[in-house]
Structure 1
Amino acid sequence: MESQRNFLLFGLLFVSYLIFVAWTEFKNPQPEQPTVVATQPANNAPSSANISADVPMASVDANQDMPVESNSASQKRITLSNDTLKLVIDTVGGDIVEADLLLYPEVQGEPAPFKLLKSEQGHVYIAQSGLIGQGPDSHPKGRPHYTTTQDAFILSEGADKVSAQLYFTTDTGIKYVKVFTLLKGKYEVDIDYQVINNSDAPVNLQLYGQLKQTVQPSGGSLVMPVYRGGAYSAPLAAKNDTRYTKYKFDDMQEANLAVETKGGYVAMLEHYFVSAFIPSEEQTNELYTRVYGADAAIGYKAPLQTVAAGSEATLSTKLWVGPKLQDEMAEVGTHLDLTVDYGWLWFIAQPLFQLLLFFQSIVGNWGMAIILVTFSVKGVMYPLTKAQYTSMAKMRLLQPKIQQLRDRFGEDKQKVSQGMMELYKKEKVNPLGGCLPILLQMPIFIALYWSLMESVELRHAPFFGWITDLSVQDPYYVLPILMGISMFFIQKMSPTTVQDPMQAKIMQYMPVVFTAFFLFFPSGLVLYWLVSNLVTLLQQWLIFRELDKKGLGKNASA
């Protein structure tokens, strides 16, 4: 088994993996967006602003008449911002209808921030929360119209947090204060409902939070698939418990999610970014999905809570709106960091990413960090690489004896195989020794591929010169071409026993095929493979020089 065959094996395995990913998407296509009558008002407010059809039903019937609500306040939007987030909140329902990530530009080099949540004509992606049961969000007249003392709440210099208060009072004297709080430097939004029951009867309330988005395809490409859709965590569910799982838009249209779990969360994913409602971990929550025309929602409902007459209570939830920052998300909610989805090779991808973070903290450049990770991986695998080439050299020296066995036994393949196995045993040669390193490199390569794909830290991260974004392809294709050249020299340096002309020609064109394939890969991944090839060339030179001294090198006579 020689290195050319290993390259072919690796290529076939990796291409097969990508084809499998594409086939999975093909077999589970995203549904076409239904044609619905537009319900957007003239000011482009979301379709949920003035109707209660998308408000979930309470888990337990309140079994009391709803109080008459005061809905005289006018509809408007207010802003709440700290140094990382700018939120736009609709006073009808108190929904977050826009969220700008101030530290992440939409387009590299442009001042406009990335807009994660948005409310535009034809597209809705908003975070809704409210009180159902006997709460104001379940009233037949529609959702509550909150009032507020000002239109903008901005984090003051030197302050640690900023809050926006929305007020609503029923005709029966129940006062609701919906408070949104942002901490300095954080993407976590604390949402608190202060309920002051000045009426003469108890009120049954159930807090809910849901993320609603217009159904659309995930997007991406064969080499860079991008998931867009729902996800949830139900770690303590009685049935189908899971720390993290995706729930696609077509899954929502096929069947409504209905899971009860202690803690958990619901989320909407969009490549490098995520929004997620994180309820209290001390209560049993009901996770659900609903489809409203062209929109789909994933949410949760907390247990019903009774506020006695003449008493007060606070109902709270958390909302993450921001990039997939693993350490920060892990502090906000249990298993929330798993929305950084490394797939089935997470146990390899996570240590690689931590190593990447470590090197970046030292050198301050993500491209250099990738290079140092490559050196580390190749260094750890050097003993296997050395064993690979040693095995290849021994196999090459055995080729004349193997040919003698073939000439002796002719078409009797069983006797040829038996003779070869006896020969391998006698010479202490492992015929699979050359395959092990390439088989180990395959999962490492895929794991690093997903690490780079899922790491928001690499979004718009420059390397040097023309490489201004390691998360996208090389604009001038320099790295893929250099990678192909390095692969060509690896082939030239490697010993070969290939006699079949067709197989030799296939091997000859492998660098060309890989170069064409890598043209569309993120430049960070191509950088890893280029440096890996350069290290392989150096290792080959050192190993072959040592083998030549032992008479096993590629120049040794057979």
Structure 2
Amino acid sequence: MTEDNKNFVLFAVVAALILFGWPLIQNRFFPTANPPVTKIEGGETEVVQGKAAATADAPGAIRDRNLVIGESPRVKIDTPTLQGSINLKGARIDDLVLKNYKDTIAKDSAPVRLLSPAGTTDAYFAAFGWRDDGLAPPAADTVWTASSPVLAPGKPVTLTAANAKGQRFQIELSVDKDYMFTVKQTVANGGQAPVPVATYGLVNRAGVSKDPDSWTIHTGPMSVANGSANYSPNFKDVDAAPQKFTTTGGWLGFTDKYWLTALLPDQARSFDGQFRAGNAKTYQADYTAAPQLLPPGRQITQTARFFAGAKEVKLLDRYTDKEGATKLDYAIDWGWFRLVEKPIFYYLDWLFRMIGNFGVAIILLTFTIRALVFPIAQRQYASMAHMRAIQPKMKAIQERYKDDKPRQQQEIMALYKSEKVNPLAGCLPTLLQIPIFYALYKVLMLTIEMRHQPFVAWIKDLSAPDPLTPLNLFGLLNFTPPHFLAIGVIPIILGISMYFQFKLNPTPMDETQKQVFALMPWVLMFVMAPFAVGLQVYWITSNIITIIQQRLLYARHPALLEAPAK
């Protein structure tokens, strides 16, 4: 077997490993896009309906939510963004839907439900109280008295209860127009002796997050403590042992891809936080504030906040920068390229607000990025032309010193220096594209502003894969292709655009390189197919710009198209 054939066989093996092994790597490090919001059946686009979580392994009977909500007195919650109620039995915030977000793209879709009472499907609730250490706070089944039947922005509600020792308890709840509750807990000591007062707050949920937790995108337990965001513990860690910490300033709660519940104790006082697991796959985040001694005849108020809603980027930034919520913006797991990702998000969001179509905004973002790197691309092509011109000299050195590799490298470096050529200059634009591409991937995967954003025709969600595949004749054939073979129309266009881009590149002198470049577009087509359509739109646009740019720069550097001298 010749050396070229060996190289080609090696490349074919590597390509197969990429094609069939990539799904395993991707699921661990780069989760695929959101599940498709549509499917093609009988040639028609159909909305994919959401499915309720399985509850067969839950203890006891899961009861109807409306029935459970109707069993106890409640205070209605009504804001521009939230709707639900507070359970006066136990003073729990356990009924909450997000008005501005729907489960599916269907017009009659129900709004996203975040919180549900205990004993119902996907139970998820928050509660606030006092530790029972020398104090006799209201029990979990105490029915509190409410000062008003409705909690709304600018209309707080005070819950009151008392005990036989002369101690009176109040929880004043207020809510802003977005997703932040303020909780003021007051104890009045009408007894004869001082009592220690230590408030607590908790968030309890049944089951783990439906969104996968991965190396690049964290879902599950999360906290900010001692100035740092902690994405490390997951549900399995909490199953193994409680996760505890002590901090002044910070928060803790549960994060999904798009939704967040977060307890924010007084940011100026120390508190102990922990995550722990309960029976039947229930999980709890809770904190206890440092105790304060309350003398007879006095009262004390301790204030906390509770965030329950969508992880909107600008909103989390506002709470962090202007309202003292320590690093609440870190609830979005931007990762390593945070400094690149957030400006890209804000620019992309601005384009979207101006134009009204998120796909067009991605295209304009691509033009902007390529315009910024165009001067570097000019240098790249000049460097490539110069490198091509010195190829005969390099070949001569390689032949002359083929048995002396150190001397060969020394002479080649001397040639680069004398000819004033930098062999790495051609790689710089590609290297610059890597953090930009990764940043766009994170923006599409993480930010709720991009959720369910349509583009054109059958593309109803740019953060999901392309649902239209010719392998089943666009749904006319009654079968679903395997995931790694379900190549949509957009990935096919991506492969074609890469093919023509590679065709415009200077023909490599090495036969193995020719074979690699011939196969690479189609391998990458399969690799990219499960990713968000928005990423593929970015790449296709970038390829088209590159093709135009190559024609312009080849005209400026015709040596690139000439056969290398011998």
Whole-angstrom CA distance in 2 between matches of 1:95 and 1:136: 20
The 1:405–1:342 alpha-carbon spacing in structure 2 relative to 1, beyond 3 Å, is same
**Mind listing any 5+ residue stretches in structure 1 that lack a counterpart?**
1-8, 27-32, 50-73, 236-240
One-letter identity of the residue aligned with 2:510: Q
Q: Which SS does the other structure have where 1:430 is aligned?
A: coil
Tell whether the 8 Å contact from 1:135 to 1:206 is kept in structure 2 after alignment.
no
Which one of 380, 390, 407 corresponds to residue 372 of structure 2? 380
Q: Does 1:392 align with 2:384?
A: yes
Q: Residue 253 of structure 1 aligns with which residue? A: 239
Q: Does 1:444 align with 2:465?
A: no
Which one of 311, 331, 337 corresponds to residue 324 of structure 1? 311
Q: How does 1:204-353 map to 2 (within 5 A)?
A: 204-216=196-208, 219-220=211-212, 227-235=218-226, 241-293=227-279, 294-332=281-319, 333-353=325-345
Whole-angstrom CA distance in 1 between matches of 2:179 and 2:258: 14
One-letter identity of the residue aligned with 1:418: Q
Q: Does 1:507 align with 2:507?
A: no
Whole-angstrom CA distance in 1 between matches of 2:380 and 2:17: 20
One-letter identity of the residue aligned with 1:80: I
Deviations 1:272-300 (A, max 9, x none): 11111111111111111222122121222
Between stretches 477-486 and 404-413, larger displacement belongs to: 404-413
Q: TM-score, length-normalised on structure 1? A: 0.80
Q: Residue 445 of structure 2 aligns with which residue? A: 453
What is the CA-CA distance between 1:424 and the residue it aligns to?
Answer: 2.1
Whole-angstrom CA distance in 1 between matches of 2:272 and 2:332: 24
Between stretches 265-274 and 91-100, larger displacement belongs to: 91-100
One-letter identity of the residue aligned with 1:497: P
One-letter identity of the residue aligned with 1:111: S
One-letter identity of the residue aligned with 1:83: P
Tell whether the 8 Å contact from 2:259 to 2:310 is kept in structure 1 after alignment.
yes
Q: Residue 488 of structure 1 aligns with which residue? A: 499
Q: Residue 56 of structure 1 aligns with which residue? A: none
Whole-angstrom CA distance in 2 between matches of 1:14 and 1:438: 22
What is the CA-CA distance between 1:112 and the residue it aligns to?
Answer: 0.8
What is the CA-CA distance between 1:328 and the residue it aligns to?
Answer: 2.1
Q: Residue 84 of structure 2 aligns with which residue? A: 87
Q: Which SS does the other structure have where 2:538 is aligned?
A: helix
- Equivalent residues, number: 502
Which one of 59, 63, 82 corresponds to residue 38 of structure 1? 59
Q: Residue 555 of structure 1 aligns with which residue? A: 562
Q: Residue 549 of structure 2 aligns with which residue? A: 539
Whole-angstrom CA distance in 2 between matches of 1:244 and 1:351: 23
Q: CA RMSD in A?
A: 3.5
The 1:149–1:490 alpha-carbon spacing in structure 2 relative to 1, beyond 3 Å, is same
One-letter identity of the residue aligned with 2:125: I
What is the CA-CA distance between 1:498 and the residue it aligns to?
Answer: 4.1
Deviations 1:302-351 (A, max 9, x none): 12133333333332211111111233223331210111111111121122
Q: Which SS does the other structure have where 1:190 is aligned?
A: strand
Between stretches 188-197 and 481-490, larger displacement belongs to: 188-197
Q: Residue 474 of structure 2 aligns with which residue? A: none
Q: Does 1:516 align with 2:523?
A: no
Q: Residue 401 of structure 1 aligns with which residue? A: 393
Deviations 1:169-215 (A, max 9, x none): 223333323232222x3111122223333344443221111222234
**Mind listing any 5+ residue stretches in structure 2 that lack a counterpart?**
1-13, 32-53, 320-324, 469-487
Q: Which SS does the other structure have where 1:133 is aligned?
A: coil
Between stretches 191-200 and 14-23, larger displacement belongs to: 14-23
Whole-angstrom CA distance in 1 between matches of 2:290 and 2:515: 68
Q: Does 1:192 align with 2:189?
A: no
Q: Does 1:177 align with 2:198?
A: no
What is the CA-CA distance between 1:360 and the residue it aligns to?
Answer: 2.7
Whole-angstrom CA distance in 1 between matches of 2:94 and 2:388: 67
What is the CA-CA distance between 1:359 and the residue it aligns to?
Answer: 2.4
Q: Residue 104 of structure 1 aligns with which residue? A: 101
Q: How does 1:147-162 map to 2 (within 5 A)?
A: 147-148=145-146, 153=150, 155=152, 160-162=153-155
Q: Residue 355 of structure 2 aligns with which residue? A: 363
The 1:116–1:481 alpha-carbon spacing in structure 2 relative to 1, beyond 3 Å, is same
The 1:262–1:132 alpha-carbon spacing in structure 2 relative to 1, beyond 3 Å, is same
What is the CA-CA distance between 1:531 and the residue it aligns to?
Answer: 1.3
Q: Does 1:132 align with 2:118?
A: no
Deviations 1:437-467 (A, max 9, x none): 2122112211221122111100112223332
One-letter identity of the residue aligned with 1:117: L
Q: Which SS does the other structure have where 2:516 is aligned?
A: helix
